[in-house]
Amino acid sequence: METFIQQFINGLSLGSVYALIAVGYSLVYSVLLFSNFAHGGFLVIGGYICYFALRSGGMNIWVASFAALVGAGLSAIIVERLAYRPIRERTPVTLYMLIASMGMSIVIENLFVVTIGGRFRALPPVIPTNPVNFFGIATTSAFDILSLVTAVIFLVGLQLFLVKTKWGLAIRAASYNLKTAGLMGVNVNRLIAIVFFTAGLLAGVGGIFLSVRYTLYPQLGAITTKAFVAAVIGGLGSLPGAVIGSLILGLAEMMTAGFISSQFRDLVVFGILIITLIVRPTGLFGKSVGEKV
Partner 1 sequence: MMEEKKPILSVKDLVVNYGAIQALKGVSLDVYPGEIVAVIGANGAGKSTMMNAIMGAVPRASGEILLDSKPLPSKSFQVVKEGISLSPEGRKVFAPLTVLENLDMGAFPISDRSAIEKQKEDVFELFPRLLERKDQYAGTLSGGEQQMLAIGRALMAKPRVLLLDEPSLGLAPIIINEIFKKLTEVNCQLGMTILIVEQNAKKALQLSHRAYVIQTGSILMEGRSADLLHDPEIEKAYLGGKK
Question: Residue 227, Cα to own-chain centre: how many angstroms?
Answer: 6
**90 sits near partner 1 (criterion: CB under 8 A):** no
Q: Which lies closer to partner 1 via its Cβ, residue 1 or residue 184?
A: 184
Q: Which lies closer to partner 1 via its Cβ, residue 136 or residue 185?
A: 185
Q: Which lies closer to partner 1 via its Cβ, residue 168 or residue 258?
A: 168
Q: Which lies closer to partner 1 via its Cβ, residue 75 or residue 238?
A: 238
Q: Which lies closer to partner 1 via its Cβ, residue 151 or residue 171?
A: 171
CB of 183: closest distance to partner 1 in angstroms? Answer: 6
Stretch of residues binding partner 1 (CB under 8 A), selected from 53-61, 132-140, 178-186, 240-248: 178-186
CB of 229: closest distance to partner 1 in angstroms? Answer: 25
Convert residues 145-174 into a mask of x (bound to partner 1 by CB under 8 A) and - (unbound). Answer: ---------------------x--xx-xx-
CB of 175: closest distance to partner 1 in angstroms? Answer: 8
Residue from 87, 186, 255, 273 binding partner 1 (CB under 8 A)? 186
On whether the CB atoms of residues 55 and 124 are closer than 8 A, the answer is yes
CB of 195: closest distance to partner 1 in angstroms? Answer: 16
Site for partner 1, rule CB under 8 A: 166, 169-170, 172-173, 176-177, 179-188
